[in-house]
Structure 1
Amino acid sequence: MKTLLRSILIITLFLTQTIAAQTITESTFKVKGECGMCKDRIETTAKNAGATSANWNAATQTLSVKYDPSTVTGDTLLKKIADVGHDNEKYSAPDTVYKNLPGCCLYERTPSLIKSPEQPVNNLTALPTNTFFVKGNCGSCKARIEKAAKEAGASGANWNSETQTVVLEFDPAKTSSDIILQKIAEAGHDNEKFLAKDAVYNALPGCCLYDRELAFGVKSDLVHDDEQQPQKDFTQHKDHIDHNIDGVLITKREEATSLSRKSAGLTFNIGQKELLKAACCNLSESFETNATVDVSFSNAVTGTKQLKMLGLDQKYTSLTRELLPSIRGLASPYGLNLIPGRWIGGIQLTKGGSTVTNGYESITGQINTEFLKFQGTPETAINFFADANGRFETNITSTNALTEHWSQTVLLHGNATVAKMDTNDDGFLDQPTGNQINAAYLLNYNDLEHTGLGTHFGISFVKDERNGGQKDFDRHTDQSQQTLYGIGIDLEKFDIWNKTGYVFKGKPYQSIGWMNQYSHHEQDSFFGNRNYLGKQSTFYSNLIFESILGNTNHKYKTGASFLFDRFDEVYLQDNYNRTETVPGLFLEYTLTGENYTLVAGARADFHNLAGTQFTPRVNFKYDFTPRTILRLSAGRGFRTANVFAENQQYFASNRQIEILGSSGEIYDLKPETAWNYGASLQQEFNLFNRKATLVADFFRTDFQNQVLTDLDVSPQKIVFYNLNGKSFANSFQTQLDFSPAKNLDLRVAYKFYDVQADYMDGRRNIPFMAKNRGFFNASYSTQPTEGKAFWSFDTTLQYVGKQDLPNLSTNPSEFQLARSSDSFVTLNAQISRDFSKNIRIYVGGENLTSFTQDNPIIDAANPFGNYFDGGMVYAPIMPANFYLGMDFKF
């Protein structure tokens, strides 16, 4: 390990010196395009032509590039981009090349960005002299803008919604561009010289309320008329997109969490900005500031947190890494703790049924995690973290290019919890002590433009050890030689994976991809006198072919998958071994219309133990207006339960496990199957003259079969059996995101859950699930200035309503629980200071309300007695905790 760390530091220093010796130029150019294929083509061409990084933005039609002027020029980059079909501010694409682009890539060529085709203009950053930036949103905007221009003396005006530009024809002897643009602003439309009055803008029809966050600032020598608003400063955070064109500054704030407009499903994209709002030490803590996912409270038994979505446990959500199965099977209870937060480049969260190409196990949704990758500039980062409860953590991440097409990522993590905390004086640790060592290496190859080939290789290993139980328990002394109650959990997990894709030459819409992964997970653990050992070996392969039917409005994906799982478990003296093999076939069709998208798919999986399973799924999106979007979804999913691994929070108790089943080799239980239906409405509007988004969604999950965990049969038992009747989960959520002031973002949400099942004694609410939840998050940053320090403030307030609790009425009165918990509120907050692009210090607090559950361990004084139970945790068991962290980038 020491040799590995030393090698990484030496390589990092060498790369740093090499980069420092280069002179890198950053430029931004206007480049026309339409879709994701255009983005790939433009960026790949720029990099192949010599750019070290390239980022094309469809909304602003701009390309931001970094390059070494000693090896390439901006002129060369733009010429190469035009040669592959994309008009830009200096060159037009040849007509034959443009016409051969896929249908989805055929952008609007009028107005042109240059004065004459194929002829360069003298100033790379200049628009044609009669073309100006004007904000708008729809056809009504177009009519209003063009009418205002003509009223101001223009003989001709043509406004384009895609480029947000107006082409004017006028006689300079009779009027001027200033007069015309001022008249357009008076009509309600911001432009590159004048801003519309708030009262006029607010009076526009709803369909015309364009996004004022994407603003056109004005150079200091362009002063507003007295009747106009005073000039505003549009400089935003350092992570904004900046674009300068002949006196025009375009800026857009990066959203920490964004809801995809184009996705047919309800998909949230969570970026690194969101992940930095909280401590985010591992994946389970990456959702503390997200209202969509509910995070359970860590308990003294395992020290881990679990996620819940749509009112159901984490096991019903497909958790993938790089679109490959990640946290499933025996890894379910602890897998979230094995992915460090600082390794994460982004998260995609989809509510409801996801695509059939990713498998059959998704019932309530999918959460996909992407690791950090090379983004054009080599970067090494080091993070240090410590909290008041004795937890310490170090992360090292490094990304860099090896050659023109090869890049690598090195990820290292280590943590240790050393303090033995017992804040409630019950003799038991509030959290386990222990340590974790985690390492991953990623290797990427991308040459889609020339060879059409790209591949990604990854390998990771993690070892985690946790010790809990009574405070004075000695892990190094044999259990038979001491009377104290102890808990030990040792984990090891190894993964190796590869994803390879090929884009057919001359057919950028047609591709084939092949993904393969092998995983091995081991757990060696004991809970008092109970031993649990588990091993799982998994091989997964997925082959996907994608193409079109006639044109890009009709796309399809088809392919085959194979999943192999071997489980070896020992609980007490009983062995539970099984092997699952699941070959599968799938087909998915996407229909794209002018204002709708339909994605319909189905897969057939031939499970050797569960039989043939048919999994249909459909997602539909309809845009009533660009700001009003309706989504509908329906789909089926199935999974095989792992009753021991998924219920380890109850192992630290006197409860005896009983399985009531007679249905084969999966613990004698049938597989779980369910249908999920959903509808959501996304509405964007302006609040306080700024963009706001309101989303309301309702999802229902109906189980045809389910493995129920019944804690009410007896306080001394956990009984597992198949559903005989109905089990359902209704989930309603409404969420409002808005910015009442510059750099201030607010998120407010309310969730209602109705989750019930027919147990042996009748229909009951699922325990530990609050019907009502409230959420509030506020984020504020001071105005950053290039090269100067700035502050960030984040706070999250959560309300958790009453929860039904297991029935312990047959216990003596002092060892009983109320049938429902009290509602409570938790508060987390963080303050960070960015001293430069490379140094950041943050401090924060969790559970600042210090609400804790009374007596979370029942009969803690007699852990080997009949009434001992450490699994009844429904609220925090530790008071306020404070932490400190530092980030360094090189």
Structure 2
Amino acid sequence: MKSYITKIFLGTLFFLSLSLSAQNLSKHQSMVKGNCNMCKERIETTAKKAGAKSAVYSIDTQTLSFETPEKISADEILKKVAEAGHDNDSYKASDDVYKNLPACCHYQRDSESPVPAMNHSDSTKKENEFFVKGNCSSCKARIEKAAKYAGADSAEWSAEKQTVILNFNPSKTSADKILKKIADVGHDNEMYKTTEEVYKKLPGCCLYDRNIPFGDTNPNVHYDESAKKENHSNHIGSEDHSSHSASEKNIEQVNIIGSKAATSIGKKEAGLVFNIDSKELLKAACCNLSESFETNATVDVSFSNAVTGTKQLKMLGLDQKYTSLTKELLPEIRGIASAYGLSLIPGRWIESIQLTKGGSTVTNGYESITGQINTELIKHAEKSETSLNLFADFNGRAEANITHVEPINDHWTQTFLLHGNGTFGDTDMNKDTFLDRPKGTQINAAYLLNFNDLTHSGFGSHFGINFVKDERTSGQIGFDKKIPQAQQNLYGVGIDISRFQVWNKTGYVFKGKPYQSLGWMNQYTYHQQDSFFGLRNYSGNQHTYYSNLIFESIIGNTNHKYKTGASFLYDGYNETYLNNQFKRTETVPGIFAEYTLTGSKYTLVAGARADFHNLAGTQFTPRLNFKYDFTPKTILRLSAGRGFRTANVFAENQQYFASNRSIQILENGGNIYGLKPEIAWNFGASLQQEFKIFGRKSTIIADFFRTDFQNQVVVDLDRSPQLLTFYNLDGKSFANSFQTQWDFSPIKNFDVRLAYKYYDVQAQYLDGKREVPFMAKHRGFINLAYSTNKNSKEGFWSFDTTLNWVGKQRLPNTSNNPSEFQLSKRSESYAVLNAQISRNFNKKLRAYLGGENLTSYYQKNAIVDFRNPFGNYFDGGMVYAPIMKANFYVGFDVTF
């Protein structure tokens, strides 16, 4: 009985203590500023650590509900919440703490109420005009489409005023309904604020400043109503460089991050990505893709041949073939197109370029080793627009470009692109009787058709077709291409190229799931080259079919994203060199998966793919990119990845065909020319730091990349000056690349870019390890760009100049030649200066005048034994510097 009474007594005490404890808890509710789920987690965790027994934060109502015991005051809790970065009823977070919050957590502060007092623009604000935030023409299209979808008869959004003028029937809809729909698609307005999740999924250039009051001019927006090239790209299943929604990533990925800088470094991407706008391409004589990087410090551009005049790109100290070159994220310059493909993409067709250093995403394939260069063609305009560009230099080269972009209706847009060029003059500046560049013509035409209906059906599609005919003749002055080489004494080179492409990219965004999408890309390419180099001939044709299917979704929430899919690549090659025929077919089905983890200060992208190559065997390709934001202005990136490729030894080394070197292939049991595939690992690290100097934004970035070859097809020029030998690597081959770049603006409209690069590139040859030839260890770069007032009604002037300094390079061994035909072991260092002056008379007309290689440095011995081109010692491939002196050009652009 006593035991029973004791249990009742103890139970009563227990429940009484619980009751008393509950009675001692105080309930509180306070206004706390926040934006997203990350804010919610931070606020609730901080409150509980500060002593709250429970804490629940509502993003929608901006309120924190919490309970505290008697000994803890609400004031203490709210003080700790403010110290964590969130303004509230009692305390305001310090500016430093607020600025160090992740970008998605930058809520609107008390001094910037959702509908602040109107400023100067309010006096002209109409009754049916409403403040709506945005940046670019993509924002304009999205806002106006959303308004019409909500019932507006018409809508006109102005980037300059940040307002939309609505015309609607009040009996059918209301301004409230329309503005709510505009907020639903990502644009803050004076009635509604979009959710942080939707805002974060906008494309990069659409991420407007949410903290600037309505009616104020956004200082970060440089919007040109006349600009048709807003740097969009209709990628279907494209690489996700930032926090884009699936609907935007797979249908309309915007590549320029933030303001409309001519070149910018993407701060959101896990990898090191440079976004090059069409404005950057106007700084130089950008006649084709090979000339698009003259003002860029990352890519090295050099002449590879003194007879054919072709240019090649190098990145991270390695040849162009190790960089994945894509167009519209589809395989472009590879295989037989390797030597001359850069000249087949006109510069005036380019809307933007994305340059990725180091391993890129596995969704784009396995061939990228040193990075990826993706080119986007013009395909965006608010209204029908036609542009004409005419260009000519003082040495007989001329070209014309016509681009026409036309919105057909709300969903369809078409683009016509036409290019023609010709080189007609005999240019021989070093007086060696050989043309410094080939003569000939090119006709290039493309048609693009875009469909975008994300709002209703969730579908988007992009179609393209391209045809190129290019004919070139080079060699000694007076050579007649119509007469067979064997019937004339003059040495000649003839190169005829025909190329046809057709492609389609289609994407679908699942209804009610903007984070989930399906994209499918397909492309067919036919490339034919017929050529001769003196008495030796080379011809080849390539049929390529590429298909890539990508599914994208999330795991739980948008902090955990994944992509998975399958690809297929078919390459059919048929090559003839001299009397030898080389035919092969490569089929490569593959599967891949990629996971993206996004935290408050970091982004991790981990992916892997398996490709089942019929000739190279099964290949496993893992890649990893990691970004950590120490602060919003201090960013560390790390990357690692594997890549593999099959070498096309003839097509990729045509610069040595204009010589009398015999080709020797030391077979190693492989299935492609008797050689095994090339396999390499790339590791990289970079540090990006932003700060202010002269009161203006400045950025320094330093990066280091190392490429280690597990296997490589070595191109050996040293065994004998009369031999070109190919064999598989037996030993070590590596490339170390260090670059530091500083971008700053000392005064308004004056941009300065300084860079220094160091390369250490070595390979194990048959007779020992040594430096790879034609690669300078040290390089310097200076680019200066100044413009007068761009807002002037009378137009403005632009001045651009670029200085490239190239250090000494190791040259191939020619010691077995007679002394008069021997080259020194190392080249001279030299500098090349390019400059351009342009005048924009208005938004429709621009004229420009420029000069290339104004230092007039040129390689005097570009061709070994040029007097005897059919002799044993003739060699036109020993080029380490420009072969032309200063060259001047003029041109103009007009828009109709």
- Cα 1:68–1:40 change in 2 (3 A) is closer
Residue 47 of structure 1, CA deviation? 6.9
The SS at the match of 1:306 is strand
Contact 2:133/2:163 (8 A) holds in 1: no
Residue 297 of structure 1, CA deviation? 2.4
2:713 maps to which of 707, 727, 745: 707
1:164 maps to which of 205, 211, 219: 211
Identity %, equivalent residues: 66
**Using the alignment, how far apart are the partners of 1:864 and 1:413 within structure 2?**
37
**Using the alignment, how far apart are the partners of 1:51 and 1:319 within structure 2?**
42
Contact 2:132/2:163 (8 A) holds in 1: no
Match of 2:505 in 1: 499
- Cα 1:681–1:317 change in 2 (3 A) is same
The amino acid that maps onto 1:493 is R
2:753 maps to which of 741, 747, 750: 747
- Cα 1:106–1:736 change in 2 (3 A) is closer
Match of 1:431 in 2: 437
**Does residue 1:382 correspond to 2:388, yes or no?**
yes
- Cα 1:365–1:105 change in 2 (3 A) is closer
**Does residue 1:774 correspond to 2:780, yes or no?**
yes
Deviations along 1:393-441, one digit per CA (max 9) or x if unpaired, are 0000000111221110000000000001111111111111000000000
Contact 1:241/1:253 (8 A) holds in 2: no
Deviations along 1:822-880, one digit per CA (max 9) or x if unpaired, are 00000000000001101000000000000011211010000000100010011011100
2:648 maps to which of 628, 642, 660: 642
1:679 maps to which of 685, 707, 716: 685
Matches within 5 A, 1:727-806: 727-806=733-812
Contact 1:37/1:105 (8 A) holds in 2: no
Deviations along 1:48-79, one digit per CA (max 9) or x if unpaired, are 567788798xxx9x967699999999958953
Deviations along 1:487-544, one digit per CA (max 9) or x if unpaired, are 0000011000000000000000000000000000000000000000110000000000
Match of 2:279 in 1: 273
1:84 maps to which of 184, 193, 210: 184
Q: TM-score, normalised by structure 1?
A: 0.78
**Using the alignment, how far apart are the partners of 1:457 and 1:809 within structure 2?**
55
Match of 1:447 in 2: 453
**Using the alignment, how far apart are the partners of 2:515 and 2:849 within structure 1?**
47
**Using the alignment, how far apart are the partners of 2:331 and 2:265 within structure 1?**
23
The SS at the match of 2:655 is helix
**Using the alignment, how far apart are the partners of 2:360 and 2:792 within structure 1?**
41
Deviations along 1:208-257, one digit per CA (max 9) or x if unpaired, are xxxx9649xxxxxxxxxxxxxxxxxx999987999xxxxxxxxx963110
- Cα 1:74–1:483 change in 2 (3 A) is farther
**Using the alignment, how far apart are the partners of 1:43 and 1:620 within structure 2?**
37
Contact 2:357/2:370 (8 A) holds in 1: yes
Matches within 5 A, 1:268-307: 268-297=274-303, 299-307=305-313
The SS at the match of 1:451 is coil
The amino acid that maps onto 2:762 is Q
2:628 maps to which of 622, 627, 630: 622
- Cα 1:64–1:729 change in 2 (3 A) is farther
Match of 2:245 in 1: none
The SS at the match of 2:520 is strand
Larger radius of gyration: 2
The amino acid that maps onto 1:751 is K
**Using the alignment, how far apart are the partners of 1:77 and 1:279 within structure 2?**
50
**Does residue 1:593 correspond to 2:694, yes or no?**
no
- How many residues are paired up? 736
Contact 1:784/1:790 (8 A) holds in 2: yes
The SS at the match of 2:311 is coil
**Using the alignment, how far apart are the partners of 1:638 and 1:337 within structure 2?**
25
The amino acid that maps onto 1:683 is Q
The SS at the match of 2:600 is coil
Match of 2:146 in 1: 45
Contact 1:601/1:617 (8 A) holds in 2: yes
**Using the alignment, how far apart are the partners of 1:812 and 1:619 within structure 2?**
52
Contact 1:102/1:552 (8 A) holds in 2: no
**Using the alignment, how far apart are the partners of 1:816 and 1:746 within structure 2?**
41
The amino acid that maps onto 1:861 is R
Residue 44 of structure 1, CA deviation? 5.0
Match of 1:153 in 2: none
The amino acid that maps onto 2:633 is R
1:858 maps to which of 861, 864, 873: 864
Contact 2:638/2:684 (8 A) holds in 1: yes
**Using the alignment, how far apart are the partners of 1:460 and 1:833 within structure 2?**
32
Deviations along 1:711-756, one digit per CA (max 9) or x if unpaired, are 0000000000000000000000000000000000000000000000
Q: Where does the alignment leave 5 or more consecutive residues of structure 1 unmatched?
A: 1-24, 108-160, 168-190, 194-211, 216-233, 243-251
1:835 maps to which of 838, 841, 849: 841
- Cα 1:791–1:328 change in 2 (3 A) is same
Deviations along 1:639-693, one digit per CA (max 9) or x if unpaired, are 0000000000000111000000132330000000000000000000001110000
Contact 1:78/1:91 (8 A) holds in 2: no
The amino acid that maps onto 1:469 is G
The SS at the match of 2:461 is strand
The amino acid that maps onto 1:81 is K
Q: Where does the alignment leave 5 or more consecutive residues of structure 2 unmatched?
A: 1-125, 231-257
2:823 maps to which of 817, 822, 825: 817
**Using the alignment, how far apart are the partners of 2:498 and 2:319 within structure 1?**
24
Match of 1:631 in 2: 637
Match of 2:612 in 1: 606
**Using the alignment, how far apart are the partners of 1:696 and 1:669 within structure 2?**
37
Contact 1:301/1:431 (8 A) holds in 2: yes
Match of 1:888 in 2: 894
- Cα 1:800–1:665 change in 2 (3 A) is same
**Using the alignment, how far apart are the partners of 2:514 and 2:298 within structure 1?**
35
**Does residue 1:370 correspond to 2:376, yes or no?**
yes
Match of 1:523 in 2: 529
The SS at the match of 1:337 is helix
The SS at the match of 2:303 is coil
The amino acid that maps onto 1:673 is I
The SS at the match of 1:843 is strand
**Using the alignment, how far apart are the partners of 1:770 and 1:371 within structure 2?**
33
The amino acid that maps onto 1:605 is D
**Does residue 1:484 correspond to 2:490, yes or no?**
yes
The amino acid that maps onto 1:712 is D
**Using the alignment, how far apart are the partners of 2:384 and 2:586 within structure 1?**
43
Q: CA RMSD in A?
A: 3.3
**Using the alignment, how far apart are the partners of 2:442 and 2:545 within structure 1?**
25
2:579 maps to which of 560, 573, 582: 573
- Cα 1:388–1:53 change in 2 (3 A) is farther
Moved more, 600-609 or 776-785: 776-785
Deviations along 1:357-393, one digit per CA (max 9) or x if unpaired, are 0000000000000000122122100000000111000
**Using the alignment, how far apart are the partners of 1:77 and 1:471 within structure 2?**
73
Contact 1:381/1:398 (8 A) holds in 2: yes
Matches within 5 A, 1:75-474: 75=175, 78-79=178-179, 81-82=181-182, 84=184, 88-92=188-192, 163-164=210-211, 214=220, 254-297=260-303, 299-474=305-480
**Does residue 1:540 correspond to 2:546, yes or no?**
yes
Contact 1:852/1:876 (8 A) holds in 2: yes
Residue 302 of structure 1, CA deviation? 2.1
The amino acid that maps onto 1:164 is N
